[in-house]
Amino acid sequence: MKLRVPFLLLSVAVGGVLLWILGSVRRDTPPHAPYWSRQIEALGRLGSYKHAAAAEYAHYAEAAEAEHATGAAKLFHALAHSEQIHETNCAEAVRRLGGRYAPPVRIVVFRRTTGDNLARALEKERGNYDRYRTGAIDSALSAGNRYAARIMIRIAAGDMRQAELLERFIARPDEGGYTVCPDCGNVCTARHCDHYCPLCQAHEERYFRYD
């Protein structure tokens, strides 16, 4: 009888520790995928779009280099890298929310002159926010998924920045370089970049540079 009481107390203590560990794991583990299905789907579509955009901008950079349009080539290289970071962030968000991300297999890029490519890129960047971003952000916020909303908001802000850089370059071509934030993909002109990324606070020492 004397042994039974300590054993019972020990069992209760072990059970309590196990429940505490399980609770901690559940707090740190993303919810089951079906709960965030709409956000996972939106992030997956956005990631696929960014994958295609990165390939398109890389192609534009090659075309600009062939035409000896150095400034445009630097800008397109920076934009391609930014889109790759956006895709990586979307893919990571999908996985953390319990889904699976697979980039598109086939991408078609048409040959155009650098001038046409700049105009096409600006048109796409201008339309990105209104076309498919706001609804997904609002949906994520309404569902209480602030993590997914934050990822999409940063990407939307990056797209607006890209449109601004393209518009400025078309109006006045610039041979200067560009910086790309390694965490959120924000693009800035090299001569006007901040010490810290205005979107995610990454330090300038970590920026990728296209000079």
* Region of poorest pLDDT, from 7-16, 38-47, 60-69, 86-95: 7-16
Per residue in 57-92, pLDDT tens? 999 999 999 999 999 999 999 999 999 999 999 999
Q: β-strands 178-180, 187-189: how paired?
A: antiparallel
- Between CA 85 and CA 183 the distance in angstroms is 7
DSSP state of 178: E
Q: Give the rounded distance of the alpha carbon of 124 from its chain centre.
A: 17
Does the pLDDT at position 193 exceed 70? yes
According to the CATH classification, is domain 33-174 in 1.10.540.10?
no
Q: Helix (H, G, I), strand (E, B), or coil: what is residue 2?
A: coil
Q: What is the mean pLDDT of residues 193-203?
A: 92
Residues near 209 by beta carbon (within 8 Å), at least 6 away in sequence: 177, 178, 179, 180, 190
| pLDDT class of 111 with cuts at 50, 70, 90 | confident
Asked if residues 74 and 62 have their Cβ atoms less than 8 Å apart, the reply is: no
Structure tokens at 104: 């598109």
Structure tokens at 8: 């019972």
| pLDDT class of 45 with cuts at 50, 70, 90 | very high
pTM: 0.81
203 CB-side CA count, 13 A = 2
Asked if residues 165 and 121 have their Cβ atoms less than 8 Å apart, the reply is: no
Per residue in 112-122, pLDDT tens? 899 999 999 99
